[in-house]
Structure 1
Amino acid sequence: MHQPQLLNCPAPAKLNLFLHITGRRADGYHLLQSVFQLIDRCDSLDFYVRQDGEIHRLNQVHGVPEQDDLVIKAARLLQSYTGTLQGAEIHLHKNLPMGGGLGGGSSDAATTLIALNHLWKCNLNRQTLMQLGLQLGADVPFFIYGQNAFVEGIGEQMQAVSTSDQWFIVIEPGVHVPTPTIFSAKELTRNTKPVRITDFSNAAKVEWKNDMQAVACALHPEIAAVIHWLKQFELHQGDAKMTGSGSCVFCAFPNEEAAKKVFKQVPSQWTSWIAKALQQHPINLKVNL
């Protein structure tokens, strides 16, 4: 008997168009404001339903044992929450770098929750899946939300925002930045003045920056070198910046032609690619939530 399956499920990267840290909660979590931008660079996952309740990853992922993989944790969380007797085999095609600030692991977990909710016929709505996702990581709810967002709190408060149809060059400097290292640094700016979502469309009034960038650059001069190189191609001051807690660096361009022109000049010691801004999560074309 043929088992239900869902193949080539996209798990897109995100860029932080800015990232301001506005304070810190009593429990140590940092309060932030950011605009999360989906891009068309993705991991991809294949899901095959099992009837025996077992959950397994079909392939090795370098540096991530199966039991530590957010994909497996997401599947088990959904299984536990819904009480389904079904299981799954999952093949993860990893395309996004780990420790790059692109949200790859969180995106993989979100796609897993969305796909298995559909395959297992759990019928949970988007809001419930977002609440489950928050147990796995602060970025997971955004990828379930499924569109670009102005994000506040610890990353769980979202408002839809329209962003420019632009292109990006993303450069991976070849270093891994553990997020806890950045958040625990004494030098981290934690008192940036809060902005409003309406300010985002009127960028001239606000300095859009990444508050984690200075700490990451001090720890990893390679990141600073990439930012310095990309700055010569900025349309607006501050366009070239790090995403998330690093290490990937990006710069926006108005069209594909402009991005390709600069892309040809990227020094060969760095891994780089061109990405297009998305307005919607591409899994929305496969699965209705």
Structure 2
Amino acid sequence: MGSGAVSVGWSEWPAPAKLNLFLRITGRRADGYHELQTVFRLLDWGDRIRLRVRADGRIVRQGDRLPGVDDPADLAVRAAALLKNEANCAQGVDIHVEKRIPAGGGFGGGSSDAATVLCALDRLWGLGLGEGRLAALGVRLGADVPVFVRGRSAWAEGVGERLQPVDLPPAWYVLVDPGIHVPTAALFQSPDLTRDSPPAKIADFAAGTVLDNAFEPVLRRREPAIEAVFAGLARIGLPRLTGTGSGCFVEFADPDVAQDALARLPRQWNAWVAAGVSDSPLRDALARPRPD
């Protein structure tokens, strides 16, 4: 199904990408998970999810899939199955995902897809679970899912599930996907990873003194392609890494300056510009009246 082929019964929902404007590991918990600090910045660009309610109770994935990901492992399918089970819902759904967010880039594509399915199906199935319960379900799918459910750029702690909305100034980002996918588990096991950074304060971030990402030095040493992107981006601004992926970005305060900077990058790079938002496109879509 192409982007213009939404037929009767289908609804379309945004699944926005995110950036981590910094990312620190401040310790390790008794259960083995790491304590993190980060700021999630939601973007005006991302995947598109199409849903069509089924009366037979089945959850059916339509369209293209990510290579190597079968339907039961697909986060959008898992989100629908989790919600259906938790709400004891008899309805089903057809799911079609138009992927725009590169896999493994640290832009949150899979987590955002899952959050959009949770939120949209809560509405389409008439469940009314609400944001809090949906965010709690989201944690079971992935640490980044709750921020997409709540739909606001946020300061995050814990494994990323303790969220405090933050007001961020307008910004535009030149994004680059080097096309490298390193499993997150392998990065967390790296002996070079700093796991005991001092906790940052929101005031430090607001002052611009907290911009580091614990995974940046690990990935730059491990992957020459990422190091090459950092060297190229340094010609237009301060390059940074998002999440635990390979995605890189430079922040700008003006959209025209960002576009000019993009034009100076090598043409063969997978690069584009996206704007930061305080409220996600999904939150805006859910706020609109449902058509009869």
Instruction: Calculate the TM-score normalised by the size of structure 2.
Output: 0.93
Q: Secondary structure at the match of 1:244?
A: coil
2:64 maps to 1:60: yes
1:268 paired residue number: 267
- Residue pair 1:100, 1:177 contacting (<8 A) in 2 also: no
Shift of residue 215 of structure 1? 0.8
Counterpart amino acid of residue 27 in structure 1: D
- Residue pair 2:16, 2:282 contacting (<8 A) in 1 also: no
Query: Please, which moves more after superposition, 177-186 or 99-108?
Result: 177-186
Shift of residue 252 of structure 1? 0.3
| 1:163-182 to 2 correspondences below 5 Å | 163-182=168-187
Shift of residue 232 of structure 1? 2.2
CA distance in 2, matches of 1:225, 1:32: 27
* Equivalences, count: 281
1:18 paired residue number: 22
Residue from 37, 60, 65 that aligns with 2:41: 37
- Residue pair 1:4, 1:119 contacting (<8 A) in 2 also: no
Query: Please, which moves more after superposition, 104-113 or 275-284?
Result: 275-284
Q: Secondary structure at the match of 1:266?
A: coil
| 1:130-169 to 2 correspondences below 5 Å | 130-169=135-174
CA distance in 2, matches of 1:207, 1:53: 48
CA distance in 1, matches of 2:129, 2:287: 11
Runs of 4+ in 1 over 6 A off after TM superposition: none
Which whole-Å deviations, capped at 9, do the CAs of 1:236-288 have from their partners, x for residues lacking one?
Answer: xxx31110012110000111110111111111232011001111111222214
1:223 paired residue number: 226
What RMSD, in angstroms, separates the aligned Cα atoms of the two structures? 1.5
| 1:258–1:194 Cα change, 3 Å | same
Q: Secondary structure at the match of 2:80?
A: helix
1:213 paired residue number: 216
Shift of residue 161 of structure 1? 0.3
2:184 maps to 1:185: no
2:242 paired residue number: 243
Q: Secondary structure at the match of 2:53?
A: strand
CA distance in 2, matches of 1:100, 1:122: 33
Counterpart amino acid of residue 83 in structure 1: N
Instruction: Calculate the TM-score normalised by the size of structure 1.
Output: 0.94
* Seq. identity, %: 42
Q: Secondary structure at the match of 2:50?
A: strand
| 1:169–1:84 Cα change, 3 Å | same
Shift of residue 218 of structure 1? 1.5
Residue from 119, 132, 143 that aligns with 1:114: 119
